Amino acid sequence: MKLSTDFTVSKFLNIKKISAYYELTKPGITLTVLASMIIGFILGSGNGIDYMLLFHAALGTWLIASGTAAHNQFLEWRLDGKMKRTQQRPVPSSKISPQQSVLFSLGLILAGLIYLIAVVNYVAGLVSLVTTLIYLGVYTPMKRISVLNVFIGAIPGALPPVGGWAAATGHLGSTAMWILFGIVFLWQVPHVMAIAWVCKDDYSNAGFRMLPRNDPNGYKALALILPCLVALVPVCYGLYQVGMNSWLYLSGALLSSLVFLFYGLIFARDRDKASAKKLMFASFGYLPAIWAFVILDLLLI
């Protein structure tokens, strides 16, 4: 009986440990990265999708994206421990030690990079490497220095569709590919700024500079958010203009962009936590909506 009980406890602890490692990879963010990469791959493939190559690209991207997210948590675990929203993450809550997290994260990054270069192509591997280096080497430390980190962080955040395009084609020379980059880049600024407004006390306590200084009325933040929301309308139109998608995508993308802009205008009017929360939830739905219209357009038209 004791052996059976010990085995049950050990199995439970192992499950908890595996769950903690999975949480370390930020699965929600990693899923967003994968979705954007897949969109880039599908559009880059034209009329013929190599599904086996797509599988390899997705696996390699998942490995390196998971490792990057995990290493970010290692780099910021002390700061995460100061914020209510992140105190229960695996490292600050001692579910995983800092040493275990760094070995795990670097192992995933290296495995993903080697896999992409060896099985997909070196261009896709290079894009993923640049994404990781900017995210960990520039964006992460910049979060404690300047609000400009929001724009720097938007660069690696917008590279997954570029990586998907590179995986499908082996090159980066396409207008449509950079339009995809532009859509994700412009989406991220209001997305991150809205989250920063909702969680500004937490960020401030941890020493993160996610909002402009000396901006009690939110005018500086608005000056960063509103131009990106306005620019999304013509940039989304770009995919239709270059012939990648038809009126079905265009209708849905323009409607989604106008709804997103509407919530930005509500924030412009109120500039408070309640309007920032509305903008934040609008941002959660925006990118999945754009990708859904891209896929529906390809399937139905």
Q: At what angle do helices 273-300 and 219-241 cross, to 10 degrees?
A: 10
Query: Sign of the CA dihedral 41, 43, 46, 49?
Result: positive
Q: Is the pLDDT of residue 9 over 50?
A: no
Tokens 């060896």 map to which residue? 118
- Cα separation of 89 and 203, whole Å? 15
**pLDDT one-digit tens code per residue, 159-216:** 999 999 999 999 998 999 999 999 999 999 999 999 999 998 889 888 899 999 888 8
- Of the two residues 14 and 149, the one the predictor is more confident about is 149
- Cα separation of 178 and 194, whole Å? 25
**pLDDT one-digit tens code per residue, 96-147:** 999 999 999 999 999 999 999 999 999 999 999 999 999 999 999 999 999 9
- pLDDT grade, residue 27 (50/70/90)? very high
The answer to whether 218 and 200 are in contact (CB under 8 A) is no
Helix (H, G, I), strand (E, B) or coil at 85: coil
pTM for this predicted structure: 0.93
Radius of gyration of the chain (CA): 20
The answer to whether 120 and 56 are in contact (CB under 8 A) is yes
Fold of 12-169: Tetracycline Repressor; domain 2 (1.10.357)
- Cα separation of 283 and 285, whole Å? 5
State mean pLDDT over 244-272: 97
- Cα separation of 68 and 190, whole Å? 23
Which residues have C-beta within 8 Å of that of residue 184, sequence separation ≥ 6? Answer: 36, 154, 157, 158, 160, 161, 287
State residue 11's pLDDT score.
Answer: 52
Give the burial string for 241-262 (b: 16+ CB within 10 Å, else e).
eeebbeebbbebbbebbeebbe
C-alpha 211, offset from chain centre: 19
Give the chain's count of helices (H) and strands (E): 14, 0
- Of the two residues 16 and 292, the one the predictor is more confident about is 292
Q: Is the pLDDT of residue 156 over 70?
A: yes
Please give the single-letter amino acid code of residue 113: L
Write the DSSP string, 11-49: HHHHHHHHHHHHHHT-HHHHHHHHHHHHHHHHHHHTT--
State mean pLDDT over 16-43: 95
Q: Domain extents for the chain? A: 12-169, 174-301
Same topology, domains 12-169 and 174-301? Answer is no
Query: Sign of the CA dihedral 118, 119, 122, 124?
Result: negative
Q: Is the pLDDT of residue 10 over 70?
A: no
The answer to whether 96 and 20 are in contact (CB under 8 A) is yes
Write down the mean pLDDT value for the chain.
Answer: 93
State residue 8's pLDDT score.
Answer: 54
Phi, psi of 170 (to 5 degrees): 80, 10
Q: Is the pLDDT of residue 256 over 90?
A: yes
**pLDDT one-digit tens code per residue, 53-85:** 999 999 999 999 999 999 999 999 999 999 988
Percent of the chain with pLDDT over 90: 86
Pick the CATH number of 174-301 from 1.10.287, 1.20.120, 2.60.40, 1.20.1340: 1.20.120
State residue 280's pLDDT score.
Answer: 97
- pLDDT grade, residue 4 (50/70/90)? low
State residue 5's pLDDT score.
Answer: 54
